[in-house]
């Protein structure tokens, strides 16, 4: 991919020779620290949020790979996002990937206050493209008092639209190419008016993948509008996404060392991934509406509704699954706020309800084609909770207290066998309180402490896994998290610090297992002790000095220490108590150096270090530690009224052999999904 770098430097050199006098007016995206966040429906300064919250701005999101927010998310301590194969993602917040061999579970996801997560506990995060987002807020740890089921945390995605008193139109065009057939293009058209703003985005991405049987393709069409009326603020979100990706499957360590690009091989009577055309087809249509009605200065009423449909097809090694999903939901919230001298009061109360109907048809897989019918199932999931939370600010002290009552109902029937009775699983009226305190030492530093209970019922993919059995015996996870931290900006706001220590005691932890033929199922694994420390530091060494060759220089470092242990975990004759929790690296350290030079040249470097990771509950095999180095070079320029950015980069510069997304407790020791070797990309973006 040397040609991408040659192209980059040729264009940059031509522009440097012929650049305009107004070149010095071109500015790169603003500082990465967003000072104001919205957590638990309250807008506060980041350092004054009585919670473990991290924020990624648009600049943070695109500092490395411009077509994936995975590297940016992994700069946050306590967060690990993985890609087992192109478009197959999973996210773990302060925890293991025990429950997520694929997909996003045990994490609630909202987009502009509209829920992406369904009643079955699943979120298709690959329906979203980075070009659609303006920022991400991440709440770490149980947040059930406001957001319901989930012990991991919450992702709040934002794609904010700006308003302009003068009618303004703009078009953003992005093109990217790279190794292994990577190609991404997107076009975004915006209309900004005083009371109405709209955006239309078209995205296409495709890749051949590093491994065999790892090609992918994605097409997105999205329309978003924001309406500012006299007393109403309305957000409308519509999108259609068509995703296809092949699944190469796991390898043993010896197979990975011999040829990391191969797909899963034939084993006895079990065919290979290529023979079975193992892949996923996801077609989703989504519509969401959010309306905030301000009755007066103190009282507001917010309503959110969502409706979407997913057609999901998955020919796998063992079966051929067709799944038809219909999701809907609503959230109603009343907010009251009042301020009297140094005392301010903020209260939220409401209800959220999600509904999912999944029709699951399972067939044999004969060389990638449907074969004999195995079963037809109907599963209905209802998830709802009532919440109430109060925030009190008095002088330098902030107190938050809330509670929710959570309910999860599954109703199951095997319609291909009417003799079977309908099964029902009901977890009702689970109370999840939360209380937190924050004290502002001064205008720059705050101390906080949190105690919160988390509740996470089994997701649909866990209660109805690939073994084809409805596991009504599976119990929800629960536990208390206690943590304390310090955060703020010091040294004239040049140094940002965010340090937290937590102790989460989780009972009935849900763990993935495999049967004799490799089909997965899940069991409750007793208790897990999750104690950890997270440290985030960001130092603005040089801040906006355009009189020197180096205009700005920033270094940041995130460190996660996660010595998680199983407690009282016995499976048959095996006692795994006091073993290290499967899939969790004891420590992760990510260092990023971001530099802007004269002539609006910039260089971003990131090094991600992961310690070795246990791959099974017995701790008999570990994935090796790895060092992932990424580099991106770019230049921003202006020609007339058009701003261009040309960039090129390299991923896995050290050419390490590692697995980004291990299959834990995998049958036949096929734990490894090798990530791409050293690879390159280059692209161009322009704003008209």
CA atoms within 13 Å, Cβ hemisphere of 91: 31
Virtual CA dihedral for 337, 339, 342, 345, nearest 10 degrees?
-20
Contact residues for 517 (Cβ-Cβ < 8 A; gap 6+): 270, 318, 667
Distance (Å, whole) CA 513 – CA 451: 32
* pLDDT at position 613: 94
Q: Are strands 299-315 and 320-340 parallel, antiparallel or unpaired?
A: antiparallel
Q: What is d(CA 367, CA 316) in angstroms, rounded to the nearest whole number?
A: 10
What phi and psi, each to the nearest 5 degrees, are found at residue 42? Answer: -125, 130
Q: Where are the domains of the chain?
A: 2-249+264-687
Element (H, E) at 290: strand 279-294
pLDDT for the residue numbered 30 = 41
Consecutive H or E run containing 15: helix 2-18
Rounded to the nearest 5 degrees, what angle is found at the Cα of 405, between the Cα atoms of 46 and 331? 65
Tell me the CA distances in angstroms from 29 to 69, 163, 274, 341, 367, one per residue in order: 17, 19, 44, 38, 49
User: For residue 4, what pLDDT band results from cuts at 50, 70 and 90?
Assistant: very low
Mean pLDDT for 201-216 is 96
Instruction: Determine which of 381-385, 406-410, 492-496 has the lowest per-residue pLDDT on average.
Output: 492-496
Q: Could you read off the pLDDT of 410-430 as tens digits, one per residue?
A: 999 999 987 777 899 999 999
CA distance linking residue 260 with residue 209, whole number of Å: 12
- pLDDT (mean) for 390-415: 94
Instruction: For residue range 328-377, list pLDDT tens digits in order.
Output: 999 999 999 998 888 999 999 999 999 999 999 999 999 999 999 999 99
Burial of 687 (0-12, 13-18, 19+ CB in 10 A): middle
Alpha carbon distance 423, 474 (integer Å) = 13
Q: Report how far residue 282's alpha carbon sits from residue 469's, in angstroms, rounded to the nearest whole number.
A: 23
The pLDDT score that the predictor gives to residue 475 is 92
- Indicate whether 262 pLDDT > 80: yes
Phi-psi region of 94 (alpha: psi -120 to 50; beta: other; left: phi over 0): left
| Alpha-carbon span 64 to 184, nearest angstrom | 15
* % of the chain at pLDDT higher than 90: 68
Cα–Cα dist 216/223, whole Å: 24
Q: What are phi and psi of 494, to 5 degrees?
A: -85, -25
Q: How would you list the strands of the sheet with 107-111, edge to edge?
A: 53-57, 135-140, 153-158, 107-111, 114-115
pLDDT of the residue at 441: 94
Which regions of 367-494 does DSSP assign to beta strands (E)?
A: 369-394, 397-414, 423-440, 445-456, 477-490
Which residue carries 């980075």 as its tokens? Answer: 130
Model confidence band, residue 29 (pLDDT cutoffs 50, 70, 90): very low
Asked if the model's pLDDT at residue 34 lies above 80, the reply is no
Q: For position 32, what pLDDT does the model report?
A: 39
Strand partners for 26? none
Cβ contact 606:629 at 8 Å: yes
- The DSSP element (H or E) to which 2 belongs, if any, is helix 2-18
| Contact between 360 and 345 (Cβ < 8 Å) | no
For the purposes of burial, counting CB atoms within 10 Å of the CB of 502, is it exposed (0-12), middle (13-18) or buried (19 or more)?
buried
Residues sharing a CB contact under 8 Å with residue 654, sequence separation 6 or more, in sequence order: 627, 628, 629, 678
The angle subtended at Cα 136 by Cα 60 and Cα 112, nearest 5°, is 140
516 pLDDT more than 90: no
Q: Residue 685 has which token pair?
A: 């973006």
Query: Tens of pLDDT along 523-545?
Result: 888 899 999 999 999 999 988 77
Across all residues in the chain, what is the average pLDDT? 89
Query: 41 near 337, Cβ under 8 Å?
Result: no
> Do the Cβ atoms of 4 and 178 come closer than 8 Å?
yes
More confident residue, 72 or 513: 72
The alpha carbons of the chain give a radius of gyration, in whole angstroms, of 25
Residue carrying the six token digits 């990424």 = 630
Distance CA 267, CA 272 (A): 7
CA distance linking residue 178 with residue 681, whole number of Å: 4
CA dist 8 and 646 (Å) reads 7
Number of Cβ atoms within 10 Å of the Cβ of 155? 23
Residue 35: its pLDDT value, please? 67
Report the pLDDT value the prediction gives residue 40, as an integer from 0 to 100: 72
Secondary structure class of 122 (helix, strand, coil): strand
pLDDT at 201 over 90: yes
Which tokens sit at 184? 């991404």
Element (H, E) at 332: strand 320-340
pLDDT surpassing 90 at residue 406: yes
Residues 537-582: tens digit of each pLDDT: 999 998 877 778 898 999 999 999 999 999 988 888 889 999 999 9
For the chain, helix (H) and strand (E) counts, in that order, are 6, 40
| Average pLDDT estimate for 621-643 | 93
Cα-based angle 322, 327, 328 (whole degrees, multiple of 5): 170
**94-123 pLDDT tens trace:** 876 677 666 788 899 999 989 999 999 999
Helix (H) or strand (E) holding 530: strand 527-542
Q: What is the mean pLDDT of residues 591-620?
A: 94
In whole angstroms, how far apart are CA 397 and each of 48, 196, 434, 470, 659? 10, 38, 17, 49, 46
**Phi, psi at 269, each rounded to 5°:** -90, 0
Task: DSSP letter for 232, please.
Answer: E
Question: What superfamily does domain 2-249+264-687 belong to in CATH?
Answer: TonB-dependent receptor, beta-barrel domain (2.40.170.20)
pTM (2 decimals)?
A: 0.91
Q: Name 492's Cβ contacts closer than 8 Å, sequence gap at least 6.
A: none
Closest by CA position to 249, among listed 460, 363, 88, 68:
88
The answer to whether residue 13 scores a pLDDT higher than 60 is: no
Helix (H/G/I), strand (E/B), else coil: 680: strand
- Given this model, what pLDDT does residue 27 score? 46
């Amino acid at each position: 991919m040397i040609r991408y770098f040659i192209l980059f430097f040729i264009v940059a050199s031509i522009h440097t020779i012929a650049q305009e006098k107004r070149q010095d007016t071109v500015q790169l995206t603003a500082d990465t620290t967003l000072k104001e966040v919205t957590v638990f429906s309250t807008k506060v300064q980041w350092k004054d949020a009585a919670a473990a919250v991290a924020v990624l701005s648009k600049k943070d999101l695109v500092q490395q790979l411009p077509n994936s927010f995975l590297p940016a998310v992994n700069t946050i301590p306590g967060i690990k996002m993985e890609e087992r194969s192109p478009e197959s993602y999973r996210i773990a917040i302060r925890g293991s990937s025990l429950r997520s061999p694929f997909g996003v579970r045990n994490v609630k996801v909202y987009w502009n206050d509209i829920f992406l997560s369904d009643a079955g506990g699943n979120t298709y995060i690959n329906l979203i493209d980075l070009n659609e987002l303006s920022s991400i807020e991440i709440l770490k740890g149980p947040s059930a008092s406001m957001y319901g089921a989930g012990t991991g945390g919450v992702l709040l995605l934002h794609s904010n639209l700006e308003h302009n008193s003068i009618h303004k139109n703009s078009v953003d065009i992005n093109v990217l190419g790279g190794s292994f057939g990577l190609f991404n293009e997107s076009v975004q058209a915006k209309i900004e008016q005083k009371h109405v703003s709209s955006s239309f985005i078209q995205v296409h991405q495709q890749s051949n993948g590093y491994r065999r049987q790892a090609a992918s393709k994605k097409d997105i069409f999205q329309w978003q509008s924001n309406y500012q009326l006299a007393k109403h603020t309305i957000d409308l979100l519509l999108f259609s996404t068509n995703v296809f990706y092949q699944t190469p499957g796991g390898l043993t360590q010896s197979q990975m060392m011999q040829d990391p690009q191969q797909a899963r091989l034939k084993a006895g009577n079990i065919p290979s991934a290529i023979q079975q055309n193992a892949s996923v087809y996801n077609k989703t249509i989504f519509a969401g509406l959010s309306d905030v009605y301000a009755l007066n200065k103190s009282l507001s009423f917010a309503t959110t509704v969502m409706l979407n449909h997913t057609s999901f097809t998955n020919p796998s090694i063992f079966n051929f699954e067709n799944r038809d999903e219909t999701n809907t939901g609503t959230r109603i919230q009343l907010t009251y706020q009042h301020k009297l001298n140094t005392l301010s009061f903020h209260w939220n109360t409401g209800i959220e309800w999600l509904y999912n109907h999944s029709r699951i048809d399972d067939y044999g897989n004969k060389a990638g084609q449907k074969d004999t019918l195995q079963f037809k199932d109907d599963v209905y999931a209802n998830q709802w909770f009532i919440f109430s939370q109060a925030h009190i600010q008095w002088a330098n002290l902030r107190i938050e207290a809330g509670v929710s009552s959570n309910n999860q109902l599954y109703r199951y029937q095997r319609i291909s066998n009417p003799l079977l009775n309908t099964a029902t699983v009901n977890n009702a009226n689970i109370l999840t309180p939360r209380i937190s305190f924050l004290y502002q030492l001064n205008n720059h530093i705050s101390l906080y402490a949190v105690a919160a209970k988390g509740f996470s019922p089994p997701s649909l993919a866990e209660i109805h896994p690939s073994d084809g059995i409805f596991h009504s015996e599976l119990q929800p996870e629960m536990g208390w998290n206690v943590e304390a931290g310090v955060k703020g900006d010091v040294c004239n706001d040049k140094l940002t610090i965010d340090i937290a220590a937590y102790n989460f005691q989780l009972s009935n932890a849900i763990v993935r297992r495999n049967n004799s033929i490799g089909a997965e199922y899940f069991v409750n694994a007793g208790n897990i002790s999750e104690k950890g420390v997270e440290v985030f530091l960001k130092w603005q060494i040089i801040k906006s000095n355009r009189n020197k060759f180096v205009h700005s220089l920033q270094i940041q470092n995130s460190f996660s220490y996660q010595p998680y242990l199983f407690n009282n975990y016995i499976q048959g004759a095996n006692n795994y108590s006091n073993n290290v929790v499967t899939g969790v690296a004891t420590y992760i350290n990510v260092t990023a150096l971001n530099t802007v030079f004269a002539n609006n040249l910039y260089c971003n470097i990131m090094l991600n270090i992961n310690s070795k990771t246990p791959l099974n509950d017995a701790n008999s095999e570990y994935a090796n530690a790895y060092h992932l180095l990424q580099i991106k070079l770019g230049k921003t320029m202006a020609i007339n009224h058009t701003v261009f950015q040309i960039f090129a980069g390299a991923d896995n510069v050290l050419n390490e052999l590692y697995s980004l997304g291990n299959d834990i407790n995998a049958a036949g020791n096929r734990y490894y999904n090798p990530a791409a070797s050293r690879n390159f990309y280059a692209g161009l973006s322009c704003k008209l």
